[in-house]
Amino acid sequence: MPQRMLPEPTPETKHFWDGCAEGELRLQRCAACGGKSYFPPRPFCPGCGSREVEIYKASGKAVLYSYVINMRPRPDMGTEPYAIAVVQLDEGPRMMTNIVNCPQTPEALQLDMKLKVSFSKQSDAITLPFFEPA
Amino acid sequence: MKQKSIAVVGAAETTKMGKIPDVSVIGLHADAALNALKDAGLKPTDIDGVACAGLSPVELAHYLGITPTYADGTAVGGCSFMLHLRHAAAAINEGLCKTVLITHGESGRSRVGAGGFGRASSSLMGQFEMPFGPAGPPTMFTIPVLRYLKTYNLTVEDLAWVSVIQREWAAKNPRASFKDPITVDDVLNSPMIAWPFRMLMCCLVTDGGGALILTSADRAKDFPQKPVYVLGTGESVETPMVSQMEDFTSSKAFRVSGKKAFGEAGITHGDVDHLMIYDAFAHLPLYGLEDLGFCKPGEAAAFIRERNTAIGGKLPLNTNGGGLSYMHSGMYGMYALQESVRQMRGIAPAQVPGAKISVCHGVGGMFAASGTIIFSNEAP
Ligand SMILES: [Zn+2]
């Protein structure tokens, strides 16, 4: 199986990927507009344009928001069907991920089920944030 | 834009449609362009504005021997042509050029002279979506749908009805790829592609192209074809990542684009005789009907199932058979525009009798972008 497609961090996203490698899910929030969290990473607030933003460690808690189960696996993803999911983090933002330690079936994957982050080291540089039933 | 200040005076698709292994991408652009020029009674040298997506307008202009004073390479996916049309209308009104050629050609099936599909691994999509296994539009465009179904207490059967009714329209179109009738059971028993989407809820993959020629309304009456006037236009973009769309049950780009177009056109929904909604997948007509304001949120599925958009219904929708049954080369927006123009000229295979206003709504990327064009066949 070919190496899984992995992200190439940029200066603006490096803190997120460094966080995953250190076992932390890092989000950003804006000081100017009431501490609203946002994702994906960028060095300013997409709500108001302020550069006064901070990086913080998120709880890692989420619910399953929506998903598909891909029946024709991408070559680097193995041979079994897998869910491509979007989770809603407790802090507000949504992110794409995979759901692990759970059968990849419509019966097992119920919308709004509680999840928690589960880090998976892929290479020396990259650890991916997956989610599993909480 | 000013209502009816611009008209479509040339419109054509590629000579062949479906599987065209003997023509490259640029060849499909040129074939469609030459057909549209013939339709309008023009030569390439009569064109002074060019627009295309997928190919650079530089490549297009040079290939056809055009020296333009206006070039638009807006490439936001399958609705790029709606945006080209909108920008061309503004450009002609502003005097940047007089006659604009918009082309599309795509070797979606045969992949002759076609580039690859991919995103840089440093892009936001490359970093925050691709590592989790998306394998093209059937696994991305579809991601919001389980949330939509749950929110409105709908089922996959509601998606299946979209495919069934569009196939009825396709049966009337000799150029449609799929014409045989299908049932809801057929759709629900077709191979699973990406739960909850089965094959018959997904668009075709074909080769083809199309082209449009626009000029000012006052010049339009001197052309051989019945002019099709542009009544209103809209466009917007939301996000390059489907996972980041603001509302999984509604497209912000659809709402903004549609509202702008209806506002410019100065019409109400009851004035609309014919509707095209880009249907790469079966959920798109549902989102489109709701986000354009034809149905309240959650009510589009019943609207379709009750045959309002079917043959003989009050709002004929996707009368060429749509991307689900007619053709879909990758960027389907051009074919939706072609069908609106045919309906306004009164020459569509499944002609809506007496249709005077057609709304043509496109999507680009995975809910990334949108463009809406409203046409009228009544002279200003
Ligand atoms: Zn802010």
What pLDDT is stored for residue B65 in this prediction? Answer: 93
Residue B69 above 90 pLDDT?
yes
For residue A111, which residues of chain B lie inside 8 Å, CB to CB? 146-147, 150
For residue B137, which residues of chain A lie inside 8 Å, CB to CB? none
Across the interface, which of A5, A69, A70 has its CB nearest the CB of B130? A5
For residue B132, which residues of chain A lie inside 8 Å, CB to CB? 84-85, 96-98, 128
Q: How far is the CA of B183 from the centre of ligand 1 (A)?
A: 51
pLDDT tens readout for residues B171-198: 999 999 999 999 999 999 999 999 999 9
A107 touches chain B (CB under 8 A): no
Helices (H), ranges, B206-279: 217-220, 252-265
Question: B1-15, B108-122, B125-139: which range is least confident on average?
Answer: B108-122
What pLDDT is stored for residue B120 in this prediction? Answer: 83
B369's tokens: 């972008």
For residue A67, which residues of chain B lie inside 8 Å, CB to CB? 143, 146
Nearest residue on chain B to A110, alpha-carbon basis:
B146
**Could you list the residue range(s) of the whole structural domain that residue A43 is in?**
14-133
Q: Quick check: B147 and A82 CB within 8 A?
A: no
Q: A83 CB contacts (<8 Å, ≥6 apart)? A: A67, A68, A69, A70, A98, A99, A104, A109
Most confident of A47-51, B123-127, B142-146, B328-332: B142-146
What pLDDT is stored for residue A1 in this prediction? Answer: 80
Residue A123 lies in a domain: yes
For residue B128, which residues of chain A lie inside 8 Å, CB to CB? 7, 39-40, 95-96
Number of domains in chain A: 1
Q: Quick check: A65 and B122 CB within 8 A?
A: no
Residue B221 above 90 pLDDT?
yes
Identify the band that residue B116 occupies on the pLDDT scale cut at 50, 70 and 90. low
Residue A16 above 60 pLDDT?
yes
Q: Quick check: A96 and B243 CB within 8 A?
A: yes
What pLDDT is stored for residue B1 in this prediction? Answer: 81
pLDDT tens readout for residues B224-235: 999 999 999 999
Q: How far is the CA of A86 from the centre of ligand 1 (A)?
A: 24
What pLDDT is stored for residue B118 in this prediction? Answer: 59
Residue B117 above 60 pLDDT?
no
Q: Taking an 8 Å Cβ-Cβ cutoff, which residues of chain B contact chain A?
A: 120-122, 124, 126-135, 139-140, 142-147, 150, 191-197, 241, 243-244, 248
B308's tokens: 């309002």
Residue B112 above 90 pLDDT?
no
Identify the band that residue B111 occupies on the pLDDT scale cut at 50, 70 and 90. confident
Residue B119 above 80 pLDDT?
no
What pLDDT is stored for residue B279 in this prediction? Answer: 96
Domain ranges of chain B: 6-113+204-376
Identify the band that residue B218 occupies on the pLDDT scale cut at 50, 70 and 90. very high
A82 touches chain B (CB under 8 A): yes
pLDDT tens readout for residues A19-69: 999 999 999 999 888 889 999 999 999 989 899 999 999 999 999 999 999
CB B346 within 8 A of CB B339: no
Q: What average pLDDT is seen over chain B? A: 96
Q: How far is the CA of B290 from the centre of ligand 1 (A)?
A: 31
Q: Tell me the three state secondary structure of residue B274.
A: strand
Q: What average pLDDT is seen over chain A? A: 96
Smallest CA–CA separation between A72 and chain B, in Å? 7
pLDDT tens readout for residues B244-273: 999 999 999 999 999 999 999 999 999 999
What pLDDT is stored for residue B182 in this prediction? Answer: 97
Q: How far is the CA of A60 from the centre of ligand 1 (A)?
A: 22
HSE-CB at A4 with a 13 A cutoff on CA atoms is: 20
Q: What angle, rounded to 10 degrees, do the helices at B80-94 and B333-345 form?
A: 60
Rounded Cα–Cα distance for residues A134 and A116 (Å):
5
Radius of gyration of chain A (CA): 16
Residue of B78, B67, B19 lying closest to B43 (CA atoms): B67
Across the interface, which of B131, B150, B192 has its CB nearest the CB of A71? B192
Residue A1 lies in a domain: no
What pLDDT is stored for residue B161 in this prediction? Answer: 98
Rounded Cα–Cα distance for residues B210 and B45 (Å):
19
pLDDT tens readout for residues B268-313: 999 999 999 999 999 999 999 999 999 999 999 999 999 999 999 9
Classify domain B6-113+204-376 at the CATH superfamily level.
Answer: Thiolase/Chalcone synthase (3.40.47.10)
Rounded Cα–Cα distance for residues A27 and A20 (Å):
11
Q: B144 CB contacts (<8 Å, ≥6 apart)? A: A66, A86, B242, B245, B248, B249, B283, B367
CB pairs under 8 A between A and B: 110
For residue B142, which residues of chain A lie inside 8 Å, CB to CB? 68
